[in-house]
Amino acid sequence: MKGYKAGLCRGPGMYRQGPIIIGAAKDHGRCSPRARTLSAVDLNTRNFIVPTHKGEMAGTESRLVSLPLSRIRLIMKSSPDVSCINPDALIITAKATELFVKYLASYSYKHGTGKESNTLTYDDLSSTAEESDTFQFLSGR
């Protein structure tokens, strides 16, 4: 990531696994209290992301996902049970949605009829939803 350097967050007795992002405060080798684990968000890499300048944290989480966060927020707020949305929950929901769509598409492609022409059709997706126990909740029954 541009403007970030990789490093480990180590303090006295504080070892963390997985990718972390340390807040803008200078930590001089110690974990800042605002450090948070994003292992659910950054599943494919084991990088430790540390901002090099103050104020660089703004907007970095949105680069981890490709879906528009405003649309995900709108869908989440459409539920009457949701009053406010934590930004971390929004990022994790977006990443989980991406992973789900990727898994559904790959499963449908492997079990679909469009392998010969490298296409994935709605019929492939709907037959996956009806035939697979994993995706049964998508069938609408």
Asked whether 43 and 91 are in contact (CB, 8 A), the reply is no
Last residue of a domain, one of 12, 39, 60: 60
85 and 50 in a single domain? The answer is no
Q: In terms of domains, do 98 and 42 share one?
A: no
Q: Give the end of a domain, one of 26, 42, 60.
A: 60
Distance, CA of 16 to CA of 97 (rounded, Å) = 26
Tally of domains within the chain = 2
> Residue 78 is part of a domain; what is its CATH number?
1.10.20.10
Residues 73 and 49 in one domain: no
86 and 31 in a single domain? The answer is no
Whether 84 and 132 map to the same domain: the answer is yes
Which range of residues forms the domain containing residue 100?
69-138
Q: Rounded to an integer, what distance in angstroms lies between the CA atom of residue 55 and that of residue 65?
A: 20
**Cα(21)–Cα(93) distance, integer angstroms:** 18
- What confidence tens digit (pLDDT) does each residue in 4-34 have? 444 444 444 444 444 444 333 334 444 444 4
User: Do 73 and 113 lie in a common domain?
Assistant: yes
Q: With the C-alpha atoms ordered 38, 43, 49, 54, is the resulting torsion angle positive or negative?
A: negative
Beta strands per DSSP E along the chain: 4-6, 10-11, 14-15, 20-21, 36-37, 49-51
Q: Which strand (E) or helix (H) includes residue 97?
A: helix 87-111
**Mind listing the pLDDT tens digit for each residue in 46-67?**
333 433 344 444 555 446 788 9
- pTM exceeding the 0.75 threshold for the entire prediction: no
Which of 91, 22, 92 has the alpha carbon at shortest distance from 62? 91
